[in-house]
Amino acid sequence: MEGQVALRHGALGVTSFVMAVVVLILIIVLFGVAGAMKAAGTATAASNVVVGLGIIVLWVLDLVAIALGIAGALDKTSKKTFPVLGLVLAIGTAVISAGLVVLGMRMAG
């Protein structure tokens, strides 16, 4: 079993990668919507709550993508390309979006 070469992409790794890409795109859209509402002066407390809850939901999905990426990377019978790409995208998305949220909170207060 040790000397075998992985010939297929595992479902965990592909799922991690796809989830990380979807979360990245949706985070960019939510930050864009929040910025556009702020610039247009149409941001209300209710819209801010909806955008904030959307970001929190996407962070939870990002954590799931990270967990799937780790599980896919530990699977010895599959290739490691998609799990590693999923991990890099998911961790990068989480760190950068959390940094932007912290930066926005510091500038607002």
Residue 85 near residue 19, CB atoms below 8 Å: no
Look at residue 21 and tell me whether its pLDDT is greater than 60. yes
Question: CB under 8 Å to 75, separation ≥6 — which residues?
Answer: 10, 12, 13, 83
Spans of all domains in the chain: 11-108
Look at residue 79 and tell me whether its pLDDT is greater than 70. yes
Read off the pLDDT of residues 23-61 as tens digits, 9 standing for 90 and up.
999 999 999 999 999 999 998 999 999 999 999 999 999
In this prediction, residue 16 has a pLDDT band, given cuts at 50, 70 and 90, of very high
Nearest Cα residue to 75 out of 22, 8, 20, 21: 8
